[in-house]
Chains A and B, each alone.
Chain A
Amino acid sequence: MAKTLFDKLWERHVVVEEQGQALIYIDLHLVHEVTSPQAFEGLRLAGRKVRRPDLTFATMDHNTPTTDRSLPIQDPIAAKQIETLIKNCREFGVPLYDLHHENNGIVHVIGPELGLTTPGKTIVCGDSHTSTHGAFGAWAFGIGTSEVEHVLATQTLPQKKPKTMEVYLDGRLPYGVTAKDIILGLIEKIGTAGGTGYVLEFTGPVVKELSMEERMTICNMAIEAGARAGMFAPDETTFSYLKGRPFAPKGDAWERAVADWKTLASDPGARYDARVELDVSALAPFVTWGTNPGMVVPVTGRVPSPEDFTDPVERQAAEKALAYMDLKPGTPIEDIRIDRVFIGSCTNSRIEDLRQAAEVVRQLGKKVAPGVRAMVVPGSYRVKRQAEEEGLDVIFKEAGFEWREPGCSMCLGMNPDILSPGERCASTSNRNFEGRQGRGGRTHLVSPPMAAAAALEGRFVDIRQWNLNLREVTA
């Protein structure tokens, strides 16, 4: 029978199946400081060990400072959580990339760049954006702390087989439209719960045009459509990205791995439980106006009115969102002024994102608009170093952007990088929930070049009015 990519990944990882529930083997477990302390404590209380420390890797990213790392962490509770991770990793023999390690960075940035993330693996982490790693043809999904403990103890997880949804990306990507706009466009179409219960597989003619980093951005936000996992079948783009990465297979093992990875595509005629088509030719650079990622319009659009929604629950949600965001129906998006800009997060903090943002700054030759505070937070030390080698840091700094140390930073504001009440932010992150970037803060999700342009203009602007080299820098 013809199988989907997901069917193949599922079959490969079933250890035992009973009562419609399978025990799934986990190939890679990524750990960070926020969702792991209670899991390690659980192991300790039960006298258990980490079964496979060689398949477990830890980093610290969520509540870490993005300022001078030689200084002590100011927040004593955050400092204790960081200390606890160090102690736990030492006690249980788990490799840790601490604040001063060259491999440190956001968990979903370092997995791929170190070659830990490879096709065909099951990958979990106590973080919903683990879906990112599906870009490589892995089955990657976020888990809670009890499940983290379960994986640490057994290297497996009980799972019920999810349904599959084919997301067929049709057409040609227009100028100025990024991977971020593809995924926002999909969420706008299917809703923030449209993917609940499904694993998404992205297919169609657009796929081969997308770089690995673009695929990561798309899979990253599959969870914002409700899907625990998103995936792309691995191809030559995947293999050439991985070849030579520190942990990627080498020599003969590489050859055998690639031969196997080539079998990881959905068979012709394979059946999905659902299918949706997205014509990317019709997409535009998007800006969210509300308090979930499905509340989104093109930059050329206007803030909608609650009356535009027929469903009473949705209408009420729109009213609440507009009140929280302090926006009036009918306001052109390009008239919305901003106070802050955040370029970073596991969605958009990789080298191509930084190149696209820097390209806008370089071409426009302007400085950050008066009254706007803009920060760039690279996803990892490796990204930071590469950007500095390319001179991107200088472009940002000369234009008045802050160039900071890596981490999750203002995506969720667990560290000191937060919005003040009422501040409005153009953010390349993934969630515009109430209070996400700081209590009373107002988040508008956009792509990196749109965020950079907003920083320079002090409001949202359509980047398509300029002649930018946006695709060339993603190769």
Chain B
Amino acid sequence: MEPFVRHEGLVAPLDRPNVDTDAIIPKQFLKRIERTGFGQFLFYDWRFLESGEPNPEFILNQSRYQGATILLARDNFGCGSSREHAPWALKDYGFRVIIAPSFADIFSNNSLKNGILLVRLPEEQVDELFKRCQQTEGYRLEIDLENCTIRDKQGLSVTFDIDPFQRETLLKGLDDISRTLQHEALIAAYEAKRPDYLTPQLA
């Protein structure tokens, strides 16, 4: 996985709570067997009208947010289904960072596995970012994961908390499976002690 150290980019605001993974990537696009190419379907039902034309009302279709790489969101972003297609679609569309007061658990794990940084900030700070983003066309942020800071050009500077394990995984772009396989001997030892009734057997 590509390491995440620092990122600077355009911010797009998505001002609604409980954005679920069905909204991020609707089910008709989950039938593909690849990991790539989901960006075109991101927020499909909001982004496109029934005719297939872009919906001019939807925030990501506005010209000022074209090329956004940082998504500003509300509480409980990514709730619902465990589909990893949601972070695949967000990343493929171009998002590297999502900022919100809270995220759903499974979505958080899935994002981490795909090198997307989720930044949790208190509600007041998120409100302030929404305000700045809406007031300033071309509003950009710089996110520094090494120092856990967010800055804008108008002098805003806030720090954020992140789980140290997640931070290291992102900074180094670590691959979980190879890291786990270093413990192969311990896994085998654990298996040797497992009670037999935990392994399903037909009579």
Contacts and interface: CB of A to CB of B under 8 A. Distances in A.
Given A193-B79, A256-B195, A313-B75, A156 B35 contact: no
B32 A313 contact: no
Interface residues of B, number: 60
A146 B82 contact: no
Contacts of A62: 30
Interface in A419-439: 421, 431, 433-436, 439
Nearest to B1: A146
Interface stretch (B19-27, B91-99, B145-153): B19-27
Interface residues of A, number: 83
B136 interface: no
A35 interface: yes
B1 to A, nearest CB: 10
Contacts of A93: none
A440 B113 CA distance: 32
A474 to B, nearest CB: 27
A55 B181 CA distance: 18
A253 interface: yes
A228 B110 CA distance: 13
Nearest to A247: B200
Nearest to B198: A27
A386 interface: no
Interface stretch (A18-26, A208-216, A375-383): A18-26
A55 B113 contact: no
B197 A253 contact: yes
B183 A256 contact: no
A150 B174 CA distance: 13
B198 to A, nearest CB: 5
Interface in A7-28: 15-16, 19-21, 23, 25, 27-28
B74 interface: yes
Interface stretch (B62-70, B101-109, B154-162): B101-109
Interface string B168-203: 100000001101110100110011001111111111
Contact of B200 (A16, A115, A156): A115
Contact of B18 (A55, A57, A292): A292
B31 A226 contact: no
Nearest to A54: B199
Contact of B33 (A84, A115, A313): A84
Contact of B82 (A63, A126, A196, A292): A126
A37 B76 contact: no
A301 interface: no
B53 interface: no
Given A158-B180, A193-B76, A253-B196, 7 more contacts: A19-B168, A128-B80, A226-B76, A228-B105, A247-B202, A414-B28, A414-B30
